[in-house]
Structure 1
Amino acid sequence: MDRMVNWSIIRKYFTRVAFVSLLAAPLSLFLTFALLIFYLSLSFSCFAERRGEREFESVQMVVSANVIPRNKTLIAHNFPLLNLRNPNFILKSASPSRRLPCKKLVSVSASAVKVTSDFQVEEKISDPISSNWAEFARNVSGEWDGHGADFTKEGKPIELPESVVPEAFREWEVQVFDWQTQCPTLAESKERVLSYKLIKLLPTVGCEADAATRYSVDERNVGGPDNKVAAFAYHPSGCYVAMWPVEDDDDRDMHRLLELEHCLVDPLNRESRVRIIQVMRLDDTVSSLQNIRVFREQWYGPFRNGEQLGGCALRDSGFASTDALKDSQVLGTWNGSKTVASFQGSQTNILQEFVDEKAERTVRDKHGLILLPKQLWSSLTERENGEVCGEVGWLLDNGHTMTSRCVFSKDGKLKEIAIGHETVASEDE
């Protein structure tokens, strides 16, 4: 009886298990089929994505190898610069492109892969003016030390104020006319910007000059946001001419007070130069010379912003009280050539290069001529046509001069600046 009961229970159990298994089989088959479809879809998506990446990379390689020349820079037409070093680069939305005014842009298309491209190839074009400015910047920059002196409009040297002269000089009744000066100058080679400081040092006795004290610092800026110059002409040799407007509260007649700064570099010694500054009043009808400043300077090394002083190592000495040039050395007829920077009709472009070379014949007389030491002279004359000419000159040796001129039209506007080299004409000419 007990055995029959046990078999009955077992039979019922297996019957139920079989019934449940029959019901679960379709559900299990459905789940298995669904998982298989999901797996196949995922695999197909990954395959398509990888294939797309390989096609994009192949297009990049073809464009780089067959279309773009060597040593060129790619610039996007209407989207930011591509970072080709990033393998995961994703093209983003378009944005305006920046064009450099000094570059030449040449369009190309990726026809090798039948794809139109909005790339441009950038080619730098040489700028002769910029290269000449870079040469000028190299030659004019550095530490220029020397001496400076002020002269009256008649060419007489002006003594330094008694308050700055050492007591020893006053006791010995020694007149002091010269400032020891520094002129640290720096011109940027990649942009037309120049600055310099005119540093006057208090006179000292003996070699105490190595520990001299600054009396004044006059900083000048050409170009850039701090520009103060009204006109500036430069030459690759390091020569330049600058016109500085001067504010004068005492000028009640509203005449313009100008400083014409002529910087002439010795063509035989690029480490030697003179700067002659003509201070003049000029308006539509009146022109007059007020005074003259002269600086004779030597180059002592790269730019250090005036931190190094030549002191007793200066290769020159004060000159203001030395003999002036003789008029017989510069009067008469001279032949030569000049390079010109024109400012007529270009009042907005205050920086010009000496470019136009012209032959010239000059007849120099005593009218307006001021003779100065160190073989220098200055003159301010009015021509027959009403133009005003401010000239300075340097007698380099017998029969050879270097000149600089600023010419103003009869209405008082700057017309041109010229630097010339002259030789005395022979009697047969």
Structure 2
Amino acid sequence: MQVWSQFAERVSGEWNGFGADFSDKGNPIELPQFLVPQAYLDWQVKLFDWQTQCPTLAHPHPPLLQYNSIQLYPTTGCDTAMRYSTDKRKVGGTGTNSGIAAFAYESSGSYVALWQKKDRLLELEYCLVSPQNFQSRVRIIQLINVLDNAVAKMKLLSIRLFLEHWYGPFRNGDQIEACIILNSAFASTLEVTGIWQGSKAVATFNASNTEIVRELSGNKEQSSPSPRDGNSTVLLPKKLWCSLNRGERDETFLSEVGWLIDDEKAITSSCLFSSSAILKEISMALETKMKGR
């Protein structure tokens, strides 16, 4: 429980920033015109980014995590922003858990959540905290369709990206002002190539174990070299990437996300699924680019 207590302290608070939606190929999706302020329309400026908030509260005993992903109406200048939508999430505790199927965490505040949606849709939410600044994080969410025609097939439908910064203790999102946003909007790409390797923490899942919330093992093991050539990788803004691929030698599926924290270091996380799209393992690693690759 000590690791959960450390996690709860790091993850709790008011997080703000920007979010954007992308296609399965990594192309940014423009906001609907009815949401765009008239000034931007007059200037013929296209908007791709939502201003967002994510008030988060984790209780140490018993383990319980609750957070709201809030999208705010776009504004010009420092006008007070209004809420457009709120997506409430809950992990642990008693009562309904909003479709949570698996949850793995570590003391830094990073976590991975698997949400079971309707119509055979899965939502994989990766939250990566910067090892250089625990008040800076990204959330990468993959929407995946599971097709079952004798052999399961997992298809990436879309990607949602949040770039967030911690700006104070939990207040349930009671302060909504455009000028308090600490991050800038994003709309660029990055190529990630080479062979990467590092230490990783792992949480395993199986059908006989009904425990949803698992700690990512603190005894980190050396990961296998990971080649990334960009061909099967969806490149995202702010030095981020993700992928969903089928195993070359078996019938497994591997979802992966990564965040380049400097030229030769990256924090990555992955989910390994069986041939029937059942989650087998969640891992998180701090990797270094191998020289000469």
Q: Shorter-chain TM-score category?
A: over 0.9
Query: Are the aligned partners of 1:199 and 1:215 in contact in 2 as well (CA < 8 Å)?
Result: yes
| Whole-angstrom distance in 2 between the partners of 1:347 and 1:368 | 32
2: CA distance between counterparts of 1:367 and 1:170?
A: 36
Match of 1:285 in 2: 152
Match of 2:197 in 1: 335
- Aligned residue runs from structure 1 range 30-429, under 5 A: 130-208=1-79, 211-224=80-93, 225-228=95-98, 229-248=100-119, 256-282=120-146, 283=148, 284-309=151-176, 311-319=178-186, 321=187, 323-326=188-191, 330-355=192-217, 356-360=219-223, 361-383=225-247, 384-427=249-292
Secondary structure (helix, strand or coil) at the match of 1:137 reads helix
Give TM-score scaled by structure 1 length. 0.65
**Any idea what the Cα deviations from partners look like across 1:376-425, whole Å, max 9, x if unmatched?**
00101100211100000000000101101000011211000000011011
Structure 1 letter corresponding to 2:282:
I
How much does 1:313 deviate?
2.5
Amino acid at match of 1:299: W
Q: Following the alignment from structure 1 to structure 2, what is the Cα–Cα distance between the partners of residues 292 and 364?
A: 19
Determine if contact 1:257/1:279 at 8 Å carries over to the other structure. yes
Aligned residues: 285
Task: Judge conservation of contact 1:145–1:309 (CA < 8 Å) in 2.
Answer: no
Structure 1: which 5+ runs fail to align?
1-129, 249-255
Distance of 1:416 and 1:201 partners within structure 2: 35
Q: Secondary structure at the match of 1:289?
A: strand
Q: Which of the two has greater helix per residue?
A: 1
Q: Secondary structure at the match of 2:243?
A: strand
**Structure ID, larger Rg:** 1
Query: What is aligned with 1:121?
Result: none
Calculate percent identity across the aligned residue pairs: 50
Give per-residue Cα distances to partners, 1:314-364, cap 9 Å, x unaligned: 221111x2x2012xxx32211211100101244411110001521012222
DSSP-derived class of the 2:198 partner: strand
3-state SS in 2 of match to 1:135 = helix
Residues 186 and 231 of structure 1: CA distance in aligned 2, closer, same or farther (over 3 Å): same
Matching residue's letter, 2:85: S
Report the AA paired with residue 357 of structure 1: K
Structure 2, gaps ≥5 residues long = none
Deviation at 1:183, TM superposition (A): 0.1
RMSD over aligned Cα atoms: 1.3
Q: Which has the higher contact order (CA 8 A, sep 6+)?
A: 2
